[in-house]
Structure 1
């Protein structure tokens, strides 16, 4: 039976999806140092990946239903290989001073990697194909394991490898993607039978903004969905300039910066992997949402207040609070939206939340990068704090309306 090889391919694909991103993201300011120190450029580069994912995810899902899982996953992983290859080669090649080509190629590599980064949804579809309704939840647990491991291994390896070369983690990410592609081509069977293939939907259904307009027109969830969007705009916005802030204010190198992201990965994995279920049962989604927002707010404000001579002793607890709070907010807000909908509206609404997350992750980084340059290095944290207060108000308001 091919099921063990299928699970191996799915696991490696999910792991590659997270590891390749978490290897590169904490090092972006150091990788770009030869080309630019602009916060706006860094924000745009960080947000470009999310923009590409936002546009491509509906297409990738529709293609996998029409043409099968295997060719879509293989194409997506191949796109990641090419995108990382372009990114790495651009960093290594000598460029004349003032040339725009390296930045254009770096953006091209990130966009291509983002466009082909919809492997998680298709890998989840493979798990659904090969599992029965009774063991589907257990099969989907593989997604959480792979993502948690990826969030831990990526920053850990980035910190270790960057001691030899700051570009080495990019090449390791490329190597992982190549291994992933070879496994998919050699071992992954097609799990979506021909008699279950579906025709491609109309163009309007593939427009990522279509579902968003529908969910915001629903008064039962519109406030919560707006809060969900603003949360990711704020969080992914200030974290996009976080390493640049560490580098310019505290003089941190790649080692301390990647350690901060390693702490985030460990704490987030513990919260979402083991604590969130018991906490929801005891306190409920509403209280956890507000508590999580409070933790993120405190962590966000601690970072710019950290003294230069004791920066690590303040920043590391701060990023732990950020990770703990985010681990509470994200699943709790999703659950609040889900509870307010009938069973028939679940799929579209939860798909819209993923779109809102991607859209916020695109708009936040350039906004905060622009603020970082124009207003001051501490301004992204203050702006994010204001957004987080707004998210708390929207979440609380929505719940009080529901209770009424």
Structure 2
């Protein structure tokens, strides 16, 4: 019987799913892996924040380059290299006996972490504009399934051995590599490929400047960056907060992230299409920001007697809100980019997300350590209100420009 390749969208979905599984099996357990290496437990928020920041800073530097290269060489080969680098980074993290090698593994994983941005470009290549928001919802389904299955699996495995989830993460990365090599078809036709950029053009700051200077997408891209700065900041210190304030263990944390995965999968998979047709991307973005803000408010208000109820309610609101904001805002930006610039444009957008994600975790970790474990969440509420104002202002300015 002759073997047939899966459809491009199915292959992209599985690639994103395996990528998220490899990450989500380990990510919630970072505080438990780091804590035995620290002389002062109170610094756990700062160290976990720096670990998260090192990953995203490397991703920030590399992702625009990866996006531009995928516009020139095609998506498939770039995606294969990214997945292979991620597998090597997980391997280094797994054999680490101290913080230096942990940081090295995270940096390597981040530097080759263009899987999501390249997969987004594949989706843009094969999807008509009027279906793009729904197609980008596949990212949410994959991320949701990853966060539904990964943290719970990681929590169970960590009960046997705290390093066992890392071996499982490596297995997912290798499976992902096999899928990309054997199943993924090239989605970018040769006649739509862009010239190879010069080294100066590959400077991530220059590409970000070009994206932010674009009057059609600059304000929206800045709001996108700030949203993920805030979101990644408070989610990074959430687990240390729960450990220090309520003595949560691996399984408690795994359940919380499972809830995030289930809700994100339902929102971005089943609901985002109908909701987009009914309300449009702008309303969904602003409504999602309001829900994330409400979730942030519940976290510092939680008490010991109601911790599980309030935290689980908070993560439901956070998952719904993020499930609305991420694909809606990304789709608004994608629809305003030229067809030949989807790879570099979405790559730069991913780099902006990485820049925000680099600044957010160490900043939240510093606030966590210097002030109190609750303070980062109050800070996040104010910053999210600024994101809503920034996004609204950008859309209003563009509407006025189009009228004239």
TM-score by length of 2: 0.85
**Does residue 41 of structure 2 align to residue 35 of structure 1?**
no
Q: For residue 252 of structure 1, give the secondary structure of its aligned residue in structure 2.
A: coil
Cα deviation code 1:242-281 (max 9, x no counterpart):
1111111010001111111111111111111121222233
- 1:154 corresponds to which of 139, 144, 150: 150
| Structure 1 residue aligned with 2:220 | 224
Counterparts in 2 of 1:255-334, with a 5 A limit?
Answer: 255-334=251-330
Cα deviation code 1:301-359 (max 9, x no counterpart):
111111112200110011100111111222333344456x4757973654433222111
**Does residue 66 of structure 2 align to residue 60 of structure 1?**
yes
Q: How far, CA to CA, are the matches of 1:133 and 1:333 in structure 2?
A: 17
Q: How far, CA to CA, are the matches of 1:333 and 1:127 in structure 2?
A: 16
1:355–1:6 CA distance, 2 compared to 1 (3 A): same
1:311–1:112 CA distance, 2 compared to 1 (3 A): same
Q: For residue 360 of structure 1, give the secondary structure of its aligned residue in structure 2.
A: helix
**Does residue 25 of structure 2 align to residue 17 of structure 1?**
no
Whether the 8 Å contact between 2:64 and 2:351 is mirrored in structure 1 is no
Counterparts in 2 of 1:4-403, with a 5 A limit?
Answer: 4=5, 10-36=12-38, 37=41, 38=43, 39-64=45-70, 71-90=77-96, 93=97, 102-123=98-119, 145-184=141-180, 187-188=182-183, 191=186, 200-337=196-333, 341=336, 343=338, 347=342, 349-402=345-398
Whether the 8 Å contact between 1:297 and 1:385 is mirrored in structure 2 is yes
TM-score by length of 1: 0.85
Equivalent pairs, count: 391
Whether the 8 Å contact between 2:152 and 2:251 is mirrored in structure 1 is no
Query: How many angstroms does 1:226 deviate by?
Result: 2.4
Query: How many angstroms does 1:200 deviate by?
Result: 2.6
Q: For residue 202 of structure 1, give the secondary structure of its aligned residue in structure 2.
A: coil
Structure 1 residues not aligned, in runs of 5+: 94-101
Query: How many angstroms does 1:16 deviate by?
Result: 2.2
Q: How far, CA to CA, are the matches of 1:350 and 1:68 in structure 2?
A: 14
Q: How far, CA to CA, are the matches of 1:268 and 1:105 in structure 2?
A: 33
1:346–1:244 CA distance, 2 compared to 1 (3 A): same
1:132–1:274 CA distance, 2 compared to 1 (3 A): closer
Q: How far, CA to CA, are the matches of 1:47 and 1:402 in structure 2?
A: 33
Cα deviation code 1:287-311 (max 9, x no counterpart):
3222221111111011111111220
Whether the 8 Å contact between 1:26 and 1:155 is mirrored in structure 2 is yes
Q: How far, CA to CA, are the matches of 2:217 and 2:76 in structure 1?
A: 36
1:345–1:225 CA distance, 2 compared to 1 (3 A): farther
Structure 2 residues not aligned, in runs of 5+: none
Cα deviation code 1:21-41 (max 9, x no counterpart):
111111110011111342222
Query: How many angstroms does 1:2 deviate by?
Result: 6.0
Q: For residue 34 of structure 1, give the secondary structure of its aligned residue in structure 2.
A: helix
Whether the 8 Å contact between 2:143 and 2:261 is mirrored in structure 1 is no
Q: How far, CA to CA, are the matches of 2:140 and 2:375 in structure 1?
A: 34
Cα deviation code 1:72-97 (max 9, x no counterpart):
4443333222211111111xx4xxxx
Structure 1 stretch 326-335 or stretch 136-145: which is displaced more? 136-145
